[in-house]
Structure 1
Amino acid sequence: MDRSQQPWPTDGAGGVQPPGSVDRRGRLTRSGLRGREAELEALQALIASVARTGSGGLALIQGEPGIGKTTLLAEAVSEARAAGFSVGVGKADELHHIVPLSSLAASVLHGDQPLLSGDAFADLARNHDQRIWLVERLAEAIEDRAGSMPVLIGLDDVQWADPLSRFALKQLPTRLRTSPVLWLLTARREPAGPAEEVVAAATGNLPTVTVPLGPLSGAAMDQLVGDTLGAAADEQVRDLLEGAGGNPFLAVEMLAGLRTAEASDELVPPGLVVGVRGRLRSLAPDTLRFLQMGAVLGRSFGFHDAAALCGRPAATLIPALEEAVRAGLLDDDGDHLVFRHDLLRQAVYVDIPPSARKALHREAARRLVSTGHQPIDAVPHILRGALPGDEECVALLQRVADDVLSVMPGLAADLMTRALDLVPPALPLRFTVGERTILSLTRAGRNREALSTGDRLLADRPPLEAFSRLQAALGGALWNMDLAGDLRRRTETALAMGGAAPEIGARLAALHALALSRDHDLVAAREAGESALRAATAVGDREAHILALSGLGEIAQNAGENAGALERFAALSAIDSAFLPEEIVAHLHVDDFASGERLLSQAAEQAGGMRQAMMLWAQGQYDLGLGRLDDADAGFMTMERLEDEVQTPVQQVNGRVIRSRIALLRGDREAAREHLAAARERLAAKPNPGNTAAVRFLEAVHAEADGDIGRAVDRIRQVQREGRFMRWRLLRDWVDSAIRIALRGAEHELAEDLAAQAEAHAERNAAVPTATGIAAQALGLVKNDLAMLEHAAELLKAGPRPLVRAAAHADLGQALLAAGRKRQAAAALTQARDTFAESGAHAEAARVRRALEGAGAGSRRAVTKQRPVQGWEALTASEKKVARLVAEGHTNRSAADLLVVSPHTVNTHLTSVFQKLSINSRVQLANVVMALPDS
C-alpha cells in the first residue's frame, strides 16, 4: 500500500496499531477520533448514501491545524474501502501548490486500484491544451471506474491544492453527480478559500456535507491523557493541556514532551513549545540544522537536497537523520523524508531567522535546478527568496510561466507579474518581461490588468522598438475589451512612429485591420487587411498571419460577403485548428451544412486542441439552422457554462438572445423573459455594437409579443442606429420578423429599407439559397406581392433551414388567403405548421393553425402537442437518446461518440433528464427506462 494511503502509522514491524494505542515515539494513533463520534457518523451516512443511491456526494472536513482532519479522513477512507469503494487519496503540499494537477494526481494515481496509470496520466498531461478537455478526460476515467464500483477520491489540505486541481475539483463533482463518486476533502478554515469554492460549486447539484472540527471536550482530552500516559490526568497535566486549546495533535505533542521531560528530569515550560521546541533542544546541533534545511525545502523533501543545503556530504548526516526519525519528527518512506505533521515543520521553520530563510530559499531554488528537478519545483522558493535584480530567477519564472500557460493561464500571469516586479525599472529587460506579462494576463482573461500593466510600462518611455512590441502585445486585451477604437489609435500611432521589427510591424498592421473591421468603412478595412496579410507573408510571422486572416474574415462577415469569409477562415483553421469553429460557422453562412457536419465530426475526434466553448457555439448554430431547437438550446446552454468555467465570456450575449428567441418559438414566455434579462445583464459587461444590436432586436420581438408595436418599431430603429440591420450577421435570417414589425407599425419606409438591405445581401451571396430566398420574401412582404412570396418559397426549398422555409410558407399562406385562394393557402399553411411543429416551435405552429382555422381550412395532420414538464414524455428526442444509452451502461464519452456530439452536451442533456424524471442516479435511470412499455 502506498504511504499516502495508510490511515495510521505502523508499529515498526509492518503491522497496523490498534485504535487508541501509543507508538514507541510517544505518538497517539488515531488521536483525532477521540470525541469525533458524531462527525464520523455524518461521514458514514454519506458513504452509505453514495453506495445505496449510485449518485455522487461531497464532504469537507474543516478545522485548524492538528485538530484531527487527517485522522478523521483516514477513518472515513477505511470505512469506504470496507464498503467496497475504489479508493484514491492524496495530500496537497504547501511548497508544491503550483505544479499543474499535482494535488489531484496523488488521488487518482494512488490506491489499491489507481484510476489512472502513471503512464496514462503522463500522456494526459503531455497532450493537454485546455483545462476543460483535461478535466473531461479525468472525468471519463473516474466515470468508467464508477460503472463497476463506487469510488472515493480524497484530498487532504485542499487549501494548498494547485490551481489546476482546484479548477478540476470545482467541475468534477457536478460533472460526475450521476455516478457513485464520493469526494472527501479536508482544509483549514479560510473565508472564500479554495475549499469553500469547491463546496459552493457543488452545492445544489449533489449532496454536500461540511464537517467542522472544533476543540475536543474535556472528557475527550482526559481520554487522550490515558491513551498517552497510561494514567488518569492529574491537576498538573490538566494545567499543561490548557495550552493545547482542545487541539488533539498539540495535546499529544505536549504529553510526549512531558514524558521526555520526566525521563530527563527537565522542567517543562507550559504552552505549545513544550511538545516541539522542548524536543528540539534535546537534539544534536547537526540534527537541528538538518531539520531546518528540510523545513525550508517543504514538508516532503529529499535527503540529498537537505544535505546539500547543509553544505555537508550526505553520508555525514545519516546520524542526524536517524535521530530525527527516532524523535518522531520525520518519517522516511524510502524515497522522501516527510515531517510527520505540518505543525512540526512550521515549528522548525519559524525558528530560522527571516533573512536566513530568504537566503536558504534562493539556495534551494538553485540546488533543485542544478540537480535536474523540474523548473516548477524551484518556483515556490523563488517566490519566497528572490531579490530584485536577480535575472536568473526572472528567467526561471518566465520559463515556468510558458510551461503552464495552456492549462493554468492565471498562474502563468501571476508568475510573469512577479518576474516583472523583480526587474528594476532602469533595466531594458523590464520591457521584454513586460511584453510577456501582458500576453499572459490577456490569455488569463485579466484584460484590464494587462492594459494597466502596459500603460505603466509605456509611461517609462521605452525605446521605439520596445514601444511597438508593447502596443502589439496590448492588441489582444483591447480587442477582448471591445475597445476597437483605442486599438485603432494605438496601432496607427505605433506604425507612424516606426522603429518596429518587421514581424512586430506586420502584427501591428494586422491588429489595425482587425480594429477597422468594426468601422463602417469596410472597403478601407479590407484594403488594410490585404496589406497586412502581404506583410505577414513577407516576414513569415505566424502570429501576424493569423491576425491578418482573422481580421479579413471578420471584415468579410461584417460586409456580408460569406464566400470571402469562408475562404479566410478556412485558411486560418489550416494554420491553427483552434479556429475550426470559425470555419464551421462560415460554411453554415453559405448553406454548406454538409461540410459543417463533417468538420464538427472531425472536431469531436480531436477535441484536445479545440476551443471547447466556441465549438459548442458552432454546434449550436448548426442545430439551430437545421431547426433542432432542443439541441441548439442545450448547446448554447453548455457553451455558456464552459465560458463561465474558464472566465472567457465571448458569445454569451448572442447565446442568450438565441435561447430567448427559441423559447418564444416554443411558447415559453417565462423562459424567454429570463433569457432576455440575462442578455441585458451580459450586454452591460460587453456592450459592443453587435451585441447591442442583437439585444435591441430581441427587445423588439418581445415588445411585439406583448402587443406594444410602437416600442417594437423603436427597438428596430435602434438596431439601425448601431449600423444597418444586415450588418449584424446574427440577425440576417430574422430580417423578415423586423419587416413584419415595421409593417404592423405602419412604418413602410423602414420596411422598404430593410428589404433593400436584404436584396443587397442576396446580391453579394447569389449562390446561397437562404440569402436569395429571404430577400425575395422581404420584398414580397413589403410590396404585398404574392408572386414574389411564391418565388421566395421556391428558392428556399433548395436551402437547408426548415424554420426559414416555414416562415416563408406562413407568409405565402396568409397572402394566398387574402387573395381568396383557400386551397393553395391551406397547403402552404399546413406545410408551415407541420415544419414548425416538427422543430418544436409550438407557438409558431399554433399561430399558423389559428390562421388555418380562421380560413375554414381543414387539417390533414394533427399538430404535435407541447411536451409536458415532468416525466418521460417531457424529454426531448435527444434527451431520450442519451437516457437510453446511459441506461444501457454508456459513459458520457461513449454516448457522445455514438451521437457525434460533445460529452459536455451529453452532460447537459443528462442533467435535464434527471430533473425531468426526478431522479439522481444512473441506476434509477436504468430502472425508469426498463419500465417503459417499448423497452
Structure 2
Amino acid sequence: MEADRPDLVDRTAECEQLRAAARRAAAGHGNAVVLEGAVGLGKTMLLDRLAEQCAALGMRVLYGAAADVEQRLPFAAMSAVARAHVGRDDDLDRVIDLLRGRDALARSVTALHHELAVTEELLALADRWLSRGPVAILLDDAQWADASSMVLLHRLARDIGQEPLLLVVAARALAQGEALNSLQRGLLAQGALELRLEALPEPAVVALATARLGAPPGPRLRGVLRAYGGNPMHVKTLLGAYLADGSIQVEGGEAEFTGPGDPPAAPQPLVDLARGQAAQMPREYRETLQAAAVLGLTVDVAELSAVLDRPLMSVSEVIADAVATGLLVDDGQCLRFRQGLARELLDRSVPQAVRTALHQRAGRMLTGRDGAPERVAAHLLAGGDLDADGRQWLAANADALTVRAPDLAVRLLRRATADPAQASPALRTHLVRALLWDGDPVQAERAARAALSFDGDAACAPDLRWLLVQACYRQGRLQEAIDATEPAVDSPDTSVGQAARFHGIAAICLFLLDRFDEAVTVADRAVADGEAAGDAEGIGIGYLAKGVGLAKDDMAASLALTELALSHLGHGIRPDLQVDPYVLKGICLMELDRLDEADEAVATAVRHNQRTGGVFLTTAHAVRAHIRFLQGRWDDALAEVRSGLDGPDPLGHEPRLLAMADLIAVHRGDAPGAELPADAGEADGRYLVRWAQALAAEAQGDPKRAAGLLRPMWEQADGLEARRMMYRVCPDLARNTVAAGVPGDARALADDLHTIASVQPTPSLAGCAAYCRGLAEGGVAPMRAAVDAFRRAGWPLYEAYAHESAALALAAAGDQAGAREALQQALDGYGRLEASWDMARARARLRDAGVRDGARGRRGRPKHGWDALTDTERTVAELVATGMSNPDVAAQLFLSRRTVQSHVSSILAKLGLTSRVELAVAATQRQAQP
C-alpha cells in the first residue's frame, strides 16, 4: 500500500490518480497530468513512485528534471528526461548528435530553424517509440524548463489521446515562466488532470514523524511540528536536525524532546534549514558539495577534484556519501543533484567572490579538455574577463557554441570583442555569425560593418561580406544586399568561386525586385565565374537564380535550369540561398501539367525542410495542397493545408493555405471559414485569397461581384505574380463575366490565354483558352476541346466545368440527348469530388435551359465508417494498423509526418475511434470478416 511508504504519507489519493493515468496510457489512451505544489510537498517523491509503476507496466520511462542553470540551453529539459536512454537507442543517439549541433550551420539558417529541425526529429522519434509501446515522460522542476522543451511537449500533447503516452509536468506553484504557463494552459484545455499538492494534515504529519522516529511524537514535539504547516520537507529536515544533535529521544513509547523547558531553537525558513544542514557537515564535505552546486546540476568528479585541487579519492568519498544519503543520484549516465532545490540552496550559500573564483578556475581548466562547449562558456562568462587562453578556446569552439547555445555565444563573443586591440578578425566574424544564428540581423549588420572597418586578416573578409549580405536580405532590404555584394566581388581577397556565389545571390535579389534583365546578366556572370573557377556551388547558385527569373514566362526553361542547379548543388544545398530549388522544381512541373512529378519534387522539399528546419516548409505544403486541388484529391489537399498551418509561418503563407481550404469548402457547399482581406498573403498568394472570395460571392448569387474581385488581379498581374502563374482562375472569371452580362471580357481572356499558350503550350492552358472562347462565342466544339485538354492535364474539376458548359451549348443547339449525356458526365465528375455546390449549379443552369438529368447522379461518399475514408486515408489506416509509426508511413507514401498525423486524426473521427490502438483492433476485426 502507498500509505506504508514514509515518503508518501497521505498521498494515497494522488498516487492512485497517477497510477490510473499510467494504466490508461499503457492501454493506448494517452493523457497528461499537471502536478503543482510548494517546495517540499512531495512532488519528486510522487514522480519517483510513478516512474516505478510505469516501468512495471512495461512503459518506456523518460524521467528527469529541468535545471535553473540550463534555462537558456535549447532542449535541455528534454535532454534531461532522455539521458538514461542515451547510448542505448540508435535513433535517439542520432537526434542527440543533431541536438549537439553537428553540421547545423551547414543545414539551417538560424537557431530557430535548427530548433524546428530538432523538434521534427524528436517528434518523429517519439512517434517511432509510441508505435512500439507505451511511453511515459515525467518532467520534474518544470519551472526551470527551457522554451524549446516546452514547445516540444506542447506538440507531443496535441494528439495525446490517440497515443499510448503519459505526460506529467511537475513544477513549483510559484516562479513559473511564460513557457511553462502556456504549456500548462494548453494541457488543461485538452483535458489534462490537474493535481495540486496541499500541506499535509496534522494526522499525516504525526504519521510521517512516527515513521521517521520509530515512535509517535509526544505533545511538545507535536506542537513544534504543527508550526511547520504540514510541509513534509520542513518536517523531515527539522527532525533530521534534532536527531543529529540528540535533542530527541524515544522513551515510554513516545518520541519527545530531551530535557525540560522550551524546545531547542531551530531555523524556520527553508533556506536556513538547508544552511543549517550544510553547517553540520565537516568543512571538507561542505566545501566540496558547495563547489559542485556552483559548477552545475550534474557533477563531474574529476572536474571537481581539479577545480578544488584536492585528491580524487578524497572528493570521491564525499560524493559517495552524498549519493548514499540521497542528495545526489547516479542515473547511469551521470551524477546529479536529486532535487534542483538542494543544488540551488547550496549554490546560494557560497559568497559571490568565491563563486566567481570557482568559475574562473573551472573555465581555465576546462578550456584544455574536450567537453560540452556551453558548459565551458558558462564558466568563462561567470568568471569575468577573458584571458588569452579563453579567447583562443572561443575562436576554436565558437561555431559549436553558437549552435548549442546561441544566446551564450553572443554574450561571450561580445565580451571577447569589446576591446578592439584584443579582438581577432576571426572572433569578430564569429560574432556576426552568432547574431545571425540568434535571429538578430540588425545587430549582425552593425557588427559586420564594424568588423569590415578594421584592418585585419583578409581571409575573413569574404565570409564577413557574405554574412553582411545575409543580414541585409533577412531584413528585407534587397537593394542593400545587392550593394553589399559589389565590394565583395571587386575585392582582391575574394576568389573567383566566391565571386560567383555573390553574383548568384545578387541575381536572386534582382529577380525578387522584378529587375529581370539585370538579374539575367548577373546570373550569367555567376555561372561563368563558377565554371572558370570550377566551383560547383557558384555554378549551381547562378543556374538557380536564372531559374527563378524565367519561372514567370518559360516554365520549361526554368525547370531545366533548376535541375542543372540541383545537379551542381547536389545534397549540399546552402541553407542561406533564399530559394528552395525543390519547391521551384515542383512549381515548374505543376505549371507544365506534370502533376505526379511535381508532387514528388515537393515531397522532397518537405523532407529537406523538415530535416533542416527550413523556412520553405510551409511553402512546400502550400504548393502540394495546390497540386492536389488540381488533381481532385481534395481531402489530401486539406491534409496538406492543416500540415502547413501546424507550425511556424515565416513567409506568411497562412492566407494562401486558408484560401485553398475555402475554395474546397465553397465547391463542397460549405461556408468558407476564413475572414481574409483582399490584400492578405504574400505576393504569389494574393490571387488565391481573391479567388476564394470570388467563388464565395458566386455561390451567394452575385456573379458581378465575383468578376469584380478577380478581374483586377488578372489585369494587374506582373512580375512574380504573372498571368502564367495564375491563369487557372480564368474559367471561374469567364463564367462570372458572362453571367454578369459582359461576354466580351471572356473573349479577351481567351485571347490572353492564347498569347500565353503560344509561348509555351500546355494542355491546361489550351483547355482554359478553349473554355473561355466557348463561353464568349458559344458552340459545342470549343467545349469538347476543353474537355479533352483538361482530361490530358489531369484537372478533373475543370473537365467537369467543360462538360457542364458543353451541355448548355448542346441544349442551345437543340440536342437534348447530348445535353443530358454531357450533364451526366459533369455530375459524375463533380460527384467524385463531392462538389455539391457545383452539382447544384449545373442542374439549375441546365434546368433553366430545359434539360433535366433524369438521374440522381453519383452518390457522395458517406460521412462516417470505413467507406467514408479516402484512398489515402484507407492506405494510412492499413499501415498504422500494422504498427507502423507516422514517420515510417510518411516515408512509404512520400508524405510528411505532420500530414500523416492529420490523416490519422481524420480517420479516427470518421470511424468514431479515439486511439491508434482502437484503430489497429478495428482494422484487424474488419480484415477477419468474410
Which TM-score tier does this pair reach, normalised by the shorter chain?
A: 0.7 to 0.9
Q: In structure 2, what is the Cα distance between the partners aligned to 1:476 and 1:750?
A: 45
* SS of residue paired to 1:153: strand
Q: Is the contact made by 1:627 and 1:801 (CA closer than 8 Å) also made in structure 2? A: yes
Q: What's the counterpart of residue 3 of structure 1?
A: none
Instruction: Give the residue type in structure 2 aligned to 1:662.
Output: I
Mapping of 1:270-419 within 5 angstroms? 270-272=268-270, 275-317=273-315, 320-321=318-319, 329-330=327-328, 336-387=334-385, 392=390, 396=394, 399=397, 402=400, 405=403, 411-412=405-406, 415-416=409-410, 419=413
Q: In structure 1, what is the Cα distance between the partners aligned to 2:441 and 2:300?
A: 39
Q: In structure 2, what is the Cα distance between the partners aligned to 1:489 and 1:140?
A: 40
Q: In structure 2, what is the Cα distance between the partners aligned to 1:881 and 1:323?
A: 58
Quote the RMSD (CA, aligned, Å): 4.2
Q: What's the counterpart of residue 872 of structure 2?
A: 878
Q: What's the counterpart of residue 517 of structure 2?
A: 523
Q: What's the counterpart of residue 198 of structure 1?
A: 183
Query: Within the alignment, does 1:762 sit opposite 2:757 as a pair?
Result: yes
> In structure 2, which of residues 549, 566, 569 is the aligned counterpart of residue 555 of structure 1?
549
Instruction: Give the residue type in structure 1 aligned to 2:371.
Output: H
Deviations 1:426-463 (A, max 9, x none): 4695986676566566666x4xx423552576489835
Q: What's the counterpart of residue 621 of structure 2?
A: 616
> What is the deviation of 1:57?
0.7
> What is the deviation of 1:566?
0.9
> What is the deviation of 1:727?
0.6
* SS of residue paired to 1:517: helix
Instruction: Give the residue type in structure 1 aligned to 2:686.
Output: T
* SS of residue paired to 1:668: coil
- Say if 1:624 and 1:414 are closer, same or farther in 2 by CA, change over 3 A: farther
> What is the deviation of 1:413?
5.8
> What is the deviation of 1:840?
3.1
Question: Once structures 1 and 2 are overlaid, which stretch shifts more, 532-541 or 426-435?
Answer: 426-435
> What is the deviation of 1:398?
8.3
* SS of residue paired to 1:312: coil
Query: Within the alignment, does 1:92 sit opposite 2:105 as a pair?
Result: no
> In structure 1, which of residues 438, 446, 450 is the aligned counterpart of residue 441 of structure 2?
450
> In structure 1, which of residues 220, 240, 258 is the aligned counterpart of residue 204 of structure 2?
220
> What is the deviation of 1:191?
4.1
> In structure 2, which of residues 810, 820, 829 is the aligned counterpart of residue 816 of structure 1?
810
Instruction: Give the residue type in structure 1 aligned to 2:292.
Output: G
* SS of residue paired to 1:773: helix
Q: What's the counterpart of residue 151 of structure 1?
A: 135
> What is the deviation of 1:305?
0.9
> What is the deviation of 1:80?
3.4
Q: What's the counterpart of residue 799 of structure 1?
A: 793
Q: In structure 1, what is the Cα distance between the partners aligned to 2:45 and 2:866?
A: 45
* SS of residue paired to 1:60: strand
Q: What's the counterpart of residue 910 of structure 2?
A: 916
Q: What's the counterpart of residue 77 of structure 1?
A: 51
Q: In structure 1, what is the Cα distance between the partners aligned to 2:392 and 2:737?
A: 62
Q: In structure 2, what is the Cα distance between the partners aligned to 1:202 and 1:342?
A: 24
Q: In structure 1, what is the Cα distance between the partners aligned to 2:786 and 2:420?
A: 69
Q: Is the contact made by 2:479 and 2:509 (CA closer than 8 Å) also made in structure 1? A: yes
Instruction: Give the residue type in structure 2 aligned to 1:392.
Output: G
Q: What's the counterpart of residue 12 of structure 1?
A: none
Q: What's the counterpart of residue 104 of structure 2?
A: none
- Say if 1:538 and 1:176 are closer, same or farther in 2 by CA, change over 3 A: farther
Q: In structure 2, what is the Cα distance between the partners aligned to 1:604 and 1:40?
A: 44
Gaps of 5+ in 1: 1-17, 22-28
* Paired-residue identity, %: 24
Q: Is the contact made by 1:770 and 1:796 (CA closer than 8 Å) also made in structure 2? A: yes
Q: In structure 1, what is the Cα distance between the partners aligned to 2:841 and 2:324?
A: 85
Mapping of 1:916-935 within 5 angstroms? 916-926=910-920, 928-929=922-923
Instruction: Give the residue type in structure 2 aligned to 1:123.
Output: R
> What is the deviation of 1:512?
3.2
- Say if 1:806 and 1:67 are closer, same or farther in 2 by CA, change over 3 A: same
Q: In structure 1, what is the Cα distance between the partners aligned to 2:506 and 2:194?
A: 53
Query: Within the alignment, does 1:573 sit opposite 2:566 as a pair?
Result: yes
> What is the deviation of 1:342?
2.6
Deviations 1:178-225 (A, max 9, x none): 1222122322344444443434454555x4112222333344333333
Mapping of 1:609-688 within 5 angstroms? 609=611, 613-641=618-646, 643-644=647-648, 648-669=650-671, 672=672, 674=673, 676-677=674-675, 679-680=676-677, 688=682
Deviations 1:86-125 (A, max 9, x none): 4342333444556665643554564xxx698244422343
- Say if 1:877 and 1:319 are closer, same or farther in 2 by CA, change over 3 A: closer
Question: Once structures 1 and 2 are overlaid, which stretch shifts more, 92-101 or 701-710?
Answer: 92-101
- Say if 1:652 and 1:479 are closer, same or farther in 2 by CA, change over 3 A: farther
Q: Is the contact made by 2:770 and 2:785 (CA closer than 8 Å) also made in structure 1? A: yes
Q: Is the contact made by 1:513 and 1:528 (CA closer than 8 Å) also made in structure 2? A: yes
* SS of residue paired to 2:34: strand
Q: In structure 1, what is the Cα distance between the partners aligned to 2:292 and 2:467?
A: 42
Question: Once structures 1 and 2 are overlaid, which stretch shifts more, 786-795 or 755-764?
Answer: 786-795
Q: What's the counterpart of residue 231 of structure 2?
A: 247
> In structure 2, which of residues 1, 10, 13 is the aligned counterpart of residue 35 of structure 1?
10
Instruction: Give the residue type in structure 2 aligned to 1:584.
Output: G
> In structure 2, which of residues 580, 588, 595 is the aligned counterpart of residue 586 of structure 1?
588
Deviations 1:337-382 (A, max 9, x none): 4434333322221122223323322432343342322323324434
> In structure 2, which of residues 482, 486, 494 is the aligned counterpart of residue 495 of structure 1?
486
Q: In structure 2, what is the Cα distance between the partners aligned to 1:56 and 1:592?
A: 42
Query: Within the alignment, does 1:258 sit opposite 2:267 as a pair?
Result: no
Gaps of 5+ in 2: 100-106, 108-113, 249-257, 259-263, 574-580
Query: Within the alignment, does 1:564 sit opposite 2:557 as a pair?
Result: yes
Deviations 1:608-643 (A, max 9, x none): 7475545434543432232111111111211221x3
Instruction: Give the residue type in structure 2 aligned to 1:850.
Output: A
User: TM-score of the superposition, structure 1-length normalised?
Assistant: 0.82
Mapping of 1:129-144 within 5 angstroms? 138=122, 142-143=126-127
- Say if 1:394 and 1:627 are closer, same or farther in 2 by CA, change over 3 A: farther
* SS of residue paired to 1:287: helix
> What is the deviation of 1:659?
1.6
Instruction: Give the residue type in structure 2 aligned to 1:257.
Output: A
- Say if 1:440 and 1:419 are closer, same or farther in 2 by CA, change over 3 A: closer
User: TM-score of the superposition, structure 2-length normalised?
Assistant: 0.83
> What is the deviation of 1:746?
4.5
> What is the deviation of 1:256?
0.9
* SS of residue paired to 1:281: helix
Deviations 1:140-193 (A, max 9, x none): 655555556543232323344455544432222335531222122322344444
Q: What's the counterpart of residue 125 of structure 1?
A: 96
Q: In structure 1, what is the Cα distance between the partners aligned to 2:215 and 2:519?
A: 88
Mapping of 1:685-696 within 5 angstroms? 688-696=682-690
- Say if 1:742 and 1:855 are closer, same or farther in 2 by CA, change over 3 A: closer
Q: What's the counterpart of residue 169 of structure 2?
A: 185
Aligned residues between the structures: 882
Question: Once structures 1 and 2 are overlaid, which stretch shifts more, 147-156 or 900-909?
Answer: 147-156
Higher relative contact order (CA 8 A, sep 6+): 2
Instruction: Give the residue type in structure 2 aligned to 1:492.
Output: D
Q: Is the contact made by 1:254 and 1:274 (CA closer than 8 Å) also made in structure 2? A: no
Instruction: Give the residue type in structure 1 aligned to 2:698.
Output: E
> What is the deviation of 1:71?
0.5
Q: Is the contact made by 1:431 and 1:457 (CA closer than 8 Å) also made in structure 2? A: no
* SS of residue paired to 1:71: helix
Q: What's the counterpart of residue 528 of structure 2?
A: 534
Instruction: Give the residue type in structure 2 aligned to 1:104.
Output: M
Q: In structure 1, what is the Cα distance between the partners aligned to 2:429 and 2:804?
A: 57
Instruction: Give the residue type in structure 2 aligned to 1:528.
Output: V
Q: In structure 1, what is the Cα distance between the partners aligned to 2:332 and 2:590?
A: 60
> What is the deviation of 1:308?
0.8
* SS of residue paired to 1:276: helix
